[in-house]
Structure 1
């Protein structure tokens, strides 16, 4: 059991180091501001936009009740890949916005073809005015089950903190 815990910690630190190196290479030596704080097992990780973009990208097009002009293309990190990067396979994700609004998302929502932590809308980074810089969004048009208040309530924008519980 302790070997598994040690492996999880090693994997987490190795992943964080790889993200830091990728961000340094992509952005030069310039320091970038953290856009997302992740808490897991009593530790906090501050992630920059470059670190999020270094993770595998997922895109889908969907309509939302919060956007106008028809379907919108969202690009970001799938919640499944994000949770896996931290070794999380069960429990709850507590997602908090800049204004301290918090929603609980079951890790069981973190599936292939499911929600993403979007950092781009129609190919452009999202400003705070556009519900950015990060927005947990579900592919509402792809799965009829997602067109329900349960999932609409989990689509939190201006995300800046995630806690794996």
Structure 2
């Protein structure tokens, strides 16, 4: 048996570990963005910061569980090192309540993506490639990126359509 003092120390250590692994920005505390708005999240959300929408700038987005995916894509040459927030973290920050998300591009192209994709795979909003911001002429400022090399089964027409480029908004119906 462990002494009671040891159990308390283990419990405290476990609690501190769990707190340290929480996302760095809690959704309800997101202030309005200070920089240029890159993404608007609308619809069925619980944590707006500007009217009934969640507006996010580059810094805010990169604070939401940023991930690096090294992968090739159907639209780029070779393997790239892409970085951006996990889409599930963006939806959590918004307090999104829905089974689908309509991803809207700057040119008004839209495609509906099931939220389960963002939990089954580490799908990101790619904001940089090889350390550089992705320009609008090169799929940016953000695009939905699935980990293609890690999951070759994702290289299909359905997922290609869900990989929206030039993302500017997410709508949760």
TM-score by shorter chain over 0.5: yes
Structure 1 equivalent of residue 37 of structure 2: 34
Where do 5+ consecutive residues of structure 1 fail to align? 1-10, 24-30
Counting only pairs closer than 5 Å after superposition, residues 126-145 of structure 1 correspond to structure 2 as 126-145=134-153
**What whole-Å deviation, never above 9, does each CA across 1:118-149 have from its counterpart, x for those lacking one?**
11111111111111111111111111221111
Contact 1:138 1:155 in 2 (8 A): yes
2:161 matches 1:153: yes
Contact 1:37 1:161 in 2 (8 A): yes
**What whole-Å deviation, never above 9, does each CA across 1:65-113 have from its counterpart, x for those lacking one?**
1111x11111001112122222336411100001000011100111264
Counting only pairs closer than 5 Å after superposition, residues 15-164 of structure 1 correspond to structure 2 as 16-17=30-31, 20=32, 31-41=34-44, 43-68=52-77, 70-88=78-96, 90-111=98-119, 113-164=121-172
Shift of 1:13: 3.2
Q: How far apart, CA to CA, are the structure 2 residues paired with 1:35 and 1:74?
A: 17
Where do 5+ consecutive residues of structure 2 fail to align? 1-25, 46-51
Alpha-carbon RMSD across the aligned residues, in angstroms, is 1.9
Which of 4, 10, 13 is 2:28 aligned to? 13
Q: Max radius of gyration: which structure?
A: 2
Query: Structure 2 vs 1, CA of residues 112 and 57 (structure 1 numbering), >3 Å: closer, same or farther?
Result: farther
**What whole-Å deviation, never above 9, does each CA across 1:30-71 have from its counterpart, x for those lacking one?**
x42111111033721221111111222111111111111x11
- How many aligned residue pairs are there? 142
Partner-residue secondary structure (3-state), 1:153: helix
TM-score, with structure 2 as normaliser = 0.75
